[in-house]
Each structure stands twice: as C-alpha cells, then as structure tokens.
A and B are shown apart, each in its own frame.
Chain A
C-alpha cells in the first residue's frame, strides 16, 4: 500500500515479486487502484463487446448472408448490448469516479474504502458470470449457450417456456450481482461527496465533475433498484413457480417493460452524466476560461436527473398505452432536452472568447459536441409519438442510441483518457497516436452511424439476423460494416497508445495541461495518501488562484 508508483498486475516493478504485487492489487482498498482496476476491466470488455459487434456487422454485410446462424446472431446482439452497457461503460465511468472524485475534493480516499473494493469485485464477478454462460448455459452436461433474449429480455422471452436451460439465469444473476456492486459504489460516491470535502470546498465550489457524479450516484440508487427487483421476480418466476411475467399463466409482459425501462432510461443519463462531467473539466482548461454559467450547469444537471426519471415509457410508445400516457411521456421526453440544450450552450459559451488548444482531449470533446447535438435532435424527433411509431424498433433507433453512447459518451470518455492518463501514470499519451485514434474513430463512427439512420427510414427493423434483398438495404449495410472495422482499427491504435506510452511516454509532471482543479496539485501518479497536507480552497479553481494571485477567482465568487 505504500508505494508511490502505480503498477499494473503481472508486471514487475521495483523488483517486487509478482505474486506480492498481484496480492496488493487484489486486496487493495485504495480508491486510485480500484479506479484503475475498474477501467482496465471495462477496457477488456470493450474489446470483447467490440468483437461481438464485428460479428454482427459481418453477418449483416449483405442480404441472406450465412456467416453465423440465427441463434448465434441473437446471442451476439444480446451479449453485445449487455456487455457494453453493464460491463464496459459502467465500470469505466465508475473507475473515473473512483479515481477522480476524492482527488478533486481534496480527500484522501473514498468514504468507505472496503465497500469500494467489495463493489468492484461484485461488478467483476457479474461480468464473469455473464460470460460463464458460454460454458454452462445449457447446464454442465450440454454445450454452452449465451443468453439470446436481447438486452431487455422482454417477457415472456425470459420465461422458462421460451428460455430453457440456464443462459437466461446467468444473464439475470450477472445483472443482479453487478447491480449490487453499482449500488455500493453509488452510495460511496454520494457519501464521499457529501462528507469528505476538504476545507473551503463548499458544495458551490465543487468542480462540475463532482457535481455530475453526485447526480449520477443518486440516479444509480433510484434506477438500479427496480432492475434488481425485476431480476429477483424473474428468478421467482423461473424457479419458484411465480407468475409475475409468465404470460401463459396470466402474468404481465407490460409490467416487465415498465420495470426494465424505469431502470433503462435513467441508465442512459447515468452514463451520460460522467460524459458531461469530463466535458465540463476539459473544455474550460483547453479554452483557457472558467466554465460558463456554473450555477446554471449545476441546476441543469440536477434537473436532468429529476426529469429523466419520468421519461421511461417513451421506449414503449408502440406497446399500446392510451393517448394520455403517450402524451405525458412525449412532453417529459421533450422537456429533458431543455436542460441538455442549456448544457451544450454553456459549453459553447465557455469556448466563446477563449483560446482553444486543439490537443487530443479537446478534439474528442469537440467531437462529442457535434455528435451529441445530432443525437439529441434525433431523440426529440422520436419523442413525437406518431413519428416514433414508425421509427421505434427500427435501425433509426439503433443509430440514435449509438450516436448517444458512442458518439457522445465514448468520445467524452476517450477525451478523459487522454486528459487524465498523465495524472494516473505520470506519462503523457502520444499526441501523434492520439490524433490517429481520433480521426480514424471519427471517420469510422460517421460512416457507420450516420448511414445507419437510413435503413431504419426504409423499414429495416433491428435485431434481424438477415434481411430480404431488393429493399435498398444492402449497400447501406455494407457501408455500415466497413465503418465498424475502421472503428476497430482506431480502438487498436488507442490500446497500443495506452500500452506504449506507459513505458515510453514523455514525463508528465504534476500539471501538464496548466489546469485548475486539485488533482493537478499533487504528484503524477499521486501518492497513496493523495495530499501531503489536506488542501484548503477558496474558489472553484484553486490552482488558478495559486497561479494568479493578482487576480484570483475567490474575488468574484
């Protein structure tokens, strides 16, 4: 626990035996090490989920393709969705929270370090459980079979009549277990933010990243709970003769949809809050200006948190709710666009009049702004219920939410990698490789997901393992698949950059970006105790005050 150096498992550092290093990492309760574990774990699943996406895209390259069987294809899209949401994006974002929140509020660790470790290992075993289904899905006597119910597992597909064997059980258990991990981490983030701030760090002086993670934590608590409840009910149905969702015995398929989406929609905002958080830290630093409209940004984040809890049934406009319910969820969905729009305007306001440096973290953030704008607008289009009757369940929706998750959240997360990697490892990521990564990924992304809107407009439903020729979908799908491979190459460049820069990157120093928040005041990587003396702050930008004693922020706040 004592060393300043950050090590990764299995690699010999400072002559320590590898077993001891490994033991240190497995038993660690240090928020920074747990943060790194979360991120590495999530990156592993990024590669796995990416391979699944490539299999899907090879199969859909042309009509009546025979690359994989329908059963395999259905497993691939189920595993791709479940993996990317629960075992890629969530862990990576929790990892950043773990690493950054204590550093940014001047704390020495999270509020509950052991709960922190426990939560991580729960999430980790959740992912392993899901993938164990490939071996044990049909019981130990049969061949493996991953779940093939889709990542929503709409009832009654998850019932025993339609999902024999154990593949759906692995899916259920993995979400249950990792869900408990998420709840633990959420409690930890909330407690840390509320109780562990250093002297002078009033709520109104917290970096926006911390605010956004606070909102995220609250939303995780509210949203994961119904998901876990639904998983328990499904297990009761499957093993104890319950009939919650067993439509053959009078259960309700619609009830499952409500349970799933009252988790599922807030989940989108749970994932996008950290992306907003990264932008709110990176854009000011590379524009050389403070964030524009800090109180409004905080208010907008909290407003998004609240409103997003009342939009879930916009995923259900086609399931036959009455026109009043449909109208209610239409207006709440449109309303959540208002605070989101305000955020985009404030980021533009931050850049306005600044001196923008186009370093790789900023490039990714600018990519986010353009793409999230489009993603938001296609979201508004689908909030218009009758339009959604056409677009829902089609490739238009698939394009829309990949625009949010890849074009938005993943771009922001890549920006965060380039921005904080020097803090975590003490070395800079290569700018040259970073630009290759950015441009390749940008081209691949647009090739895939811009084009993907069109087959939806031309009537192509999602989750089909093959399609009929002569509907005008062939060429479009080929282009989409080519884009997917370009993105895969970009990801390889990124991973290579992470590895090679760890050994050969330029020394970062404490504050390579000339930034303003507390994490840059300590060494890179920070010592186990973070700060030799716990800092005291007088404004939202403590390091600005330090660097500009003649014109400190504290005068204006």
Chain B
C-alpha cells in the first residue's frame, strides 16, 4: 500500500511539473528555430494575446498548485493503515461553510479572468483602423491563398507582402477574409491569432508587425485533402522595400520575344482557364495569378521551392508534389513543357 501511494504521489508531481516545464520551455524556445511560436510575438495583437496568456497561465497555475497540493496531501495523509483495518473513519457528510468558501472564491476568480479577457478582446477585435492602413483581401481556395490589394491594384498568391509598422507612424495591415470554397483559417502565430475564412461570411483581422522578416504559418481550419500543404509566408518589408515590391507587382507581365513559343503554349492550353497573366488572354481566377510568378520563392502554396525543376514537375505531374491538389497534370510534350517552363521563368 505504502509504495503504491508513494508512486502515485511521485508520478503525479512529476507529471504536473512536467506540463509546466513544457509550457515554460516553449516560452523560452529559440524563435528562429520555428518561426511559428506564439511566445515570440512581433505584432500588437499577438503581443496583447501573449500578455493575457501569461496572466491567465499564472492564475490557472496557482489554482493548479493549490488543488494539486490538496490532492497529494489527502491521498498521502489519509491512506488506510493496517492498524485500523477493522474500523471505519468518522462519517462526515459535508459542511456548509466549506462549500460556500469553495463556491465564492472560484466565482471571484472567474470575474477577474472575464474582465481581463473582455478588455483584450475588445482592444483587438474592435480596434479602429487608421486611414494609413494597408488593405488586403485574402481569399482562401482549395488549397492556396489569393491576395488582392484593392487600393494598390496588386494581385498575388500565397506569399503576402506587408509593410513594417513603426509605432510612431503606424501602418497596420487590415485583412478582409473571404473564401471561394470551404472554410479556411488564416494563422500567423507571431503576428496575430487566427481568423477563419468562411464562405458567405466576410471576416476582418489586422496586424502591425514591428520587425521586418519572413513570418510563417498555415491554414488552420480543415479544408479538404491538402489542408496540410496550404502554407502561409508573410514577408514584412521596410516601407521602401514594400513600395518597390508594389511597383514591380503593378507592372504588366514581362513580354520577352525569346520565349514566344512558351507563351503560345500557355495561351493555347487549358492553363488560361484557371490562371491570369496580365497582358495576355489568360484571365482565369480558379488558380493563382502568375503575372509575377518569379517574384515568389515557393510554388504550390509553399509545398516546394520555386526552382525550374520543381516548376516543370509541377506542370507535368502535380501529384508528385502535392497529392490531391486541384491543378491537373497538363500532359505536354517535352518540347512544349520546356518552352512553357522557359516562358514562366521570365515572369518576374
């Protein structure tokens, strides 16, 4: 009996301590190693969430410690001993005072937690957007992201570019979230909490990153076969870099005579049903806009690096890169495939 009791106590304390170690280790983890750590916020919404989390973790941590201690104490103190094998302990049926105490204290804790929650909730969800805010419409597709900057006339896919926000002159980014098919969820843990993209139900979220760099995330709401490879990359640029990127994106597609054959292949196959290239007949919207394909570092919503080999494989056999993707295998002859890849390579 004794050893069983000890082992229970020991295991219980170990597992409790373990959980809290885990949480604190996660907090201290090197941000560079993941890029998706909610304990390394780089933007106001993510930062206020972390502050609230720390507060809530502290409160729940204290509750845990108190109840845990009571539990461990009672199972170790009140174990059956061989001396009193044949007698029953005092039969206690309850106590109104004690019941009142352990009702009122939790009520007070709930009130405090709720007020703290409501404050942060309101501050993030109902934040007014300044006129300087950059507006982006994010449209979720199976299984990629479409970004439209209505005031800048820019359309791109999968890799979002937004400007860094200087706290003195904030330029937050306001995202309008739409879905073309099923539910999706936009989640960049270091910049903001997630918000779903629900068909027929436009949503809003915002972020004001205070550091330049690339931030990662991915679709968080199950949306079908390739939910796992609907990755997100957000490039937070300096104001100059962002302006330069916008200028590049506003230009029509490069027209290079040397790849005219590839361009013709593109314009005479099913590619144009789904893809847009500005300045050509291609104006499909089912797949990503390819006007500036080469300005992106990945293809297939982050499933593969944007290299000529991958691009070629992607056109010929998308299943090899992303099983269940809605891009059909194009079944081109080798010469057409080479020409098409060469053409796409020029779309900077």
Q: Write the residues of chain A forming the contact surface with B, with a CB cutoff of 8 angstroms.
A: 69-71, 74, 148, 150, 154, 156-157, 162, 247-248, 250-254, 287-290, 292-296, 318-320, 322-323, 326-327, 330-331, 334-335, 337-338, 341-342, 344-346, 348-349, 351-358, 363, 366, 369-370, 373-374, 377-378, 380-381, 383-394, 435, 442, 446, 450-451, 453-454, 457-468, 470-473, 548, 551, 553, 556
B235-250 vs A: 1/0 string, CB under 8 Å?
0000000000000000
Q: A341 to B105: give the CA distance in the assembly, Å.
A: 10
- Please tell me which one of the listed residues A292, A378, A381, A394 contacts residue B94 in the complex, with CB atoms under 8 A apart: A292
- Please tell me which one of the listed residues B4, B67, B181, B187 contacts residue A156 in the complex, with CB atoms under 8 A apart: B181
| Contact A387:B34 (CB < 8 A) given known A70-B225, A253-B183 | no
Q: A464 to B203: give the CA distance in the assembly, Å.
A: 24
Q: Please state if A472 and B52 are interface contacts (CB–CB under 8 Å).
A: no
- Please tell me which one of the listed residues A250, A387, A553 contacts residue B53 in the complex, with CB atoms under 8 A apart: A387
Q: Please state if B201 and A457 are interface contacts (CB–CB under 8 Å).
A: no
Q: Please state if B201 and A74 are interface contacts (CB–CB under 8 Å).
A: no
Q: Please state if A290 and B91 are interface contacts (CB–CB under 8 Å).
A: yes
Q: Write the residues of chain B forming the contact surface with A, with a CB cutoff of 8 angstroms.
A: 1, 4-5, 8, 11-12, 15-16, 18-19, 22-23, 25-26, 29, 33-39, 45-46, 48-49, 52-53, 56-57, 60, 63-64, 67-68, 70-71, 74-75, 78-81, 84, 88-95, 98-99, 102-103, 106-107, 110, 113-114, 116-118, 120-122, 124-126, 177, 181-183, 185, 187, 189, 192-196, 198-204, 216-229, 231, 323-324
Q: Please state if B182 and A154 are interface contacts (CB–CB under 8 Å).
A: yes
Residue from B80, B84, B324 whose CB has the most chain A CB atoms within 10 Å: B80
Residues of chain B within 8 A (CB-CB) of A465 are 227-228
Q: Please state if A471 and B106 are interface contacts (CB–CB under 8 Å).
A: no
Q: Please state if B98 and A389 are interface contacts (CB–CB under 8 Å).
A: no
Q: Please state if B37 and A366 are interface contacts (CB–CB under 8 Å).
A: no
Residues of chain A within 8 A (CB-CB) of B5 are 358
Residues of chain B within 8 A (CB-CB) of A344 are 67
Q: Please state if B34 and A323 are interface contacts (CB–CB under 8 Å).
A: no
Q: Please state if A390 and B193 are interface contacts (CB–CB under 8 Å).
A: yes
**Considering the complex of A and B, which 3 residue pairs feature the smallest CB-CB distances, nearest first?**
A389-B193, A459-B36, A464-B228
- Please tell me which one of the listed residues A156, A345, A356, A457 contacts residue B23 in the complex, with CB atoms under 8 A apart: A457
Q: Can you list 28 A-B pairs with a CB-CB distance of less than 8 A?
A: A70-B323, A74-B225, A253-B198, A287-B78, A287-B89, A295-B94, A318-B195, A319-B183, A320-B202, A323-B121, A323-B122, A331-B110, A342-B102, A352-B74, A355-B84, A370-B15, A374-B16, A381-B53, A387-B52, A387-B56, A390-B49, A390-B53, A390-B193, A450-B15, A451-B22, A453-B19, A457-B38, A556-B93
Q: In the complex, which residue of chain A has the Cβ closest to the Cβ of B100?
A: A296
| Contact A318:B185 (CB < 8 A) given known A70-B228, A390-B49, A450-B15 | yes
Residues of chain A within 8 A (CB-CB) of B193 are 318, 386, 388-390
Q: In the complex, which residue of chain A has the Cβ closest to the Cβ of B221?
A: A393
Closest chain A CB from B189 CB (angstroms): 4
Q: In the complex, which residue of chain B has the Cβ closest to the Cβ of A457?
A: B26
Closest chain A CB from B72 CB (angstroms): 9
Q: Please state if A293 and B99 are interface contacts (CB–CB under 8 Å).
A: yes
Q: Please state if A387 and B60 are interface contacts (CB–CB under 8 Å).
A: no
| Contact A70:B122 (CB < 8 A) given known A358-B5, A454-B26 | no
| Contact A463:B121 (CB < 8 A) given known A253-B198, A354-B78, A387-B52 | no
Q: Please state if B34 and A384 are interface contacts (CB–CB under 8 Å).
A: no
Q: In the complex, which residue of chain A has the Cβ closest to the Cβ of B25?
A: A454
Q: Please state if B18 and A446 are interface contacts (CB–CB under 8 Å).
A: yes
Q: Please state if B79 and A392 are interface contacts (CB–CB under 8 Å).
A: no
Q: In the complex, which residue of chain A has the Cβ closest to the Cβ of B226?
A: A70
Q: A459 to B203: give the CA distance in the assembly, Å.
A: 21
Q: In the complex, which residue of chain A has the Cβ closest to the Cβ of B114?
A: A331
Q: Please state if B22 and A450 are interface contacts (CB–CB under 8 Å).
A: yes
| Contact A355:B78 (CB < 8 A) given known A154-B183, A393-B185 | yes
Residue from A250, A377, A453, A457 whose CB has the most chain B CB atoms within 10 Å: A457
Residues of chain A within 8 A (CB-CB) of B45 are 386
Q: Please state if B52 and A386 are interface contacts (CB–CB under 8 Å).
A: yes
Residues of chain A within 8 A (CB-CB) of B39 are 457
Q: Please state if B80 and A458 are interface contacts (CB–CB under 8 Å).
A: no
Q: Please state if A293 and B95 are interface contacts (CB–CB under 8 Å).
A: yes
Q: A434 to B216: give the CA distance in the assembly, Å.
A: 47
Residues of chain B within 8 A (CB-CB) of A390 are 38, 46, 49, 53, 189, 193-194
Q: In the complex, which residue of chain B has the Cβ closest to the Cβ of A445?
A: B15
Q: In the complex, which residue of chain B has the Cβ closest to the Cβ of A377?
A: B60
Closest chain B CB from A463 CB (angstroms): 4
Q: A471 to B124: give the CA distance in the assembly, Å.
A: 27
Residues of chain A within 8 A (CB-CB) of B19 are 374, 450, 453
Further 10 A-B residue pairs, CB within 8 A, beyond A247-B200, A326-B121: A157-B183, A293-B95, A330-B121, A355-B78, A355-B79, A370-B12, A373-B64, A454-B23, A457-B26, A457-B37
Q: In the complex, which residue of chain B has the Cβ closest to the Cβ of A378?
A: B60
- Please tell me which one of the listed residues A320, A380, A472 contacts residue B33 in the complex, with CB atoms under 8 A apart: A472
